[in-house]
Structure 1
Amino acid sequence: MTYQGVLTKMDTEFLEPIQYYLVFENDFLNMNQLLNKSITIRFVKYQCLNCGLDKPIYRQGFDRQCFFETARAGDWIMRPELSTAHLDKEDRDLEYEKQVQLQPHIVYLANSSNVKVGVTRKSQVPTRWIDQGAHEAIEIVEVPNRYLAGITEVALKDHVADKTNWRSMLKNDIKDENLIQWRDRLKQYIPDEAKDYFIESNAETNLEFPVNKYPAKPKSLNIVKEQSYSGKLVGVKGQYLIFEDDTVFNVRANEGLVVNISVD
């Protein structure tokens, strides 16, 4: 069977194991059902997620011009502490920024390659943890806007990592941590503006990924350069497809590419 469409990050369902769906405009694939099957991925063209044109993707699924113009790629996306909608101050599109920034946000700890701090909208729990390949996570604070979450993350980054080592995550080279102890240890570093939002009592969330074989030495697939790749799918973790020959393909990092996928 053959499928074709523009890549966007895989949709997920929080089950045991997590269910992954690659969604195209008129079709979708349940990636769990493709485990142990041979798949061929072919690059077709670009399709910017903003303007829809066949222009090289710059970042986050957008061509260069759209990346610097669309509200969906403002600096506050990656750096929540730069959010200004709570001040009624526009970055690129105040209506959109209010819609996204002025809603409950979570500051969390996740363990994917190591314990790291992160920020997400409350509505994106546990999706954000799944996308990062975390096998365990816990909320620290729940605040009413993105700015408060951002300044809390900045304060905690002095005491805990804020990046994931994708190779360690994919190799499953991780150890279990007591995230409740981590949460309680970091409480003292929460900024005064967010202290009242600390979550005193909650449990870790554990996540199980559909992986039959972890790669010993992950090799990242550049489908634009290679044009075509074939391999047996043996797992899905984070937003990565894992193949038997240790090739891994980051779906989210390739948003905006139109691909043809055939399943043998």
Structure 2
Amino acid sequence: MTYEGVLTKMQTENGSPIQYYLVFENDFLNVNQLIDKKVSINFLHYQCLNCGLQKKIYRQGFCYDCFFEIPQAADWIINPEKSKAHLGIEDRDLAYEEKVQLQPHVVYLANSSSVKVGVTRKSQIPTRWIDQGAHEAIEIVEVPNRYLAGITEVALKDYVSDKTNWRTMLKNEIQDENLVEWRDKLKQFIPAEAADYYLENNSETNLQFPVLKYPQKPKSLNLDKTPFYEGILKGIKGQYLIFEDDTVFNIRSNEGYVVSIKVN
């Protein structure tokens, strides 16, 4: 079977294990069903996720021009503390910014390579944790807008990391942590504006990824340098496909790349 389309991040469904799906314009693929099978990936061309043109992808699946113009790629996406929609101040498109920023957001702790702090919309729980390859996670605060979540994350970054070591995550060199204890320990550092939104009675969520074999020395597949690759798929974690020869392929980092995927 051969599937073809522009890559976007895999859709997920929480379960034991998590189910992964690649959704193309005319194809739909349950990636779990490919585990332990030979899979080839062939890079065909670029296609910007916004304008649809065959222009080289710059970042986040967008061409250079779109990346610096559209609200989906604005600075507040990566740095939520820069959100201003709650003040009625436009960055690139106030209607879009109000829609995204003025909804419940969660500040959380997730353990993927070590304990880290992060921000996501409430509607993206547990999808965000799955995408990061976290095997356990817990919410700290639930606030009504992105700005409050952002300033809380900034405050907590002084005491806990906000980064994931992708190699450690993929090698599964992880330790279980008591995230309830971490949450309680960090409570004192929550900014006054967000203190009333602290969550003190929730429990951690545990996630199970479909992996038969973890890589010992993961090496990342770069389609610009290696436009064709073939290998035995051994698992999926985060947004990575894990192959038998320790090659790993980050779907999220290759959004906007049109590929054909063949299953033998």
TM-score of the superposed pair, with normalisation by structure 1: 1.00
The amino acid of 2:7's aligned partner reads L
**Aligned positions, number:** 264
2:256 corresponds in structure 1 to 256
Distance in 2 (CA, whole Å) between partners of 1:17 and 1:159 is 32
Q: How does 1:163-174 map to 2 (within 5 A)?
A: 163-174=163-174
The amino acid of 2:223's aligned partner reads I
Distance in 2 (CA, whole Å) between partners of 1:28 and 1:10 is 11
1:225 is displaced (CA, Å) by 1.3
1:243 corresponds in structure 2 to 243
1:190 corresponds in structure 2 to 190
The amino acid of 2:230's aligned partner reads S
The answer to whether the aligner puts 1:88 opposite 2:99 as a matched pair is no
The answer to whether the aligner puts 1:111 opposite 2:111 as a matched pair is yes
1:131 corresponds in structure 2 to 131
Alpha-carbon displacement from aligned partner over 1:130-169 (angstroms, at most 9, x marks no partner): 0000000000000000000000000000000000000000
Helix, strand or coil for the counterpart of 1:26? Answer: coil
Structure 2 residue runs without a partner (length 5+): none
Helix, strand or coil for the counterpart of 1:213? Answer: coil
The amino acid of 2:170's aligned partner reads L
1:27 is displaced (CA, Å) by 1.1
1:100 corresponds in structure 2 to 100
Helix, strand or coil for the counterpart of 2:77? Answer: helix
Alpha-carbon displacement from aligned partner over 1:60-86 (angstroms, at most 9, x marks no partner): 000111000011000000000000000
The amino acid of 1:165's aligned partner reads N
Deviating beyond 3 angstroms after TM superposition, the runs of 4 or more aligned structure 1 residues are none
The answer to whether the aligner puts 1:202 opposite 2:202 as a matched pair is yes
Q: Percent identity?
A: 74
The amino acid of 1:99's aligned partner reads K
1:158 corresponds in structure 2 to 158
1:50 corresponds in structure 2 to 50
2:70 corresponds in structure 1 to 70
The amino acid of 1:95's aligned partner reads A
The answer to whether the aligner puts 1:24 opposite 2:24 as a matched pair is yes
Helix, strand or coil for the counterpart of 2:225? Answer: helix
The amino acid of 1:155's aligned partner reads A
1:26 is displaced (CA, Å) by 1.1
Distance in 1 (CA, whole Å) between partners of 2:157 and 2:28 is 38
Structure 1 residue runs without a partner (length 5+): none
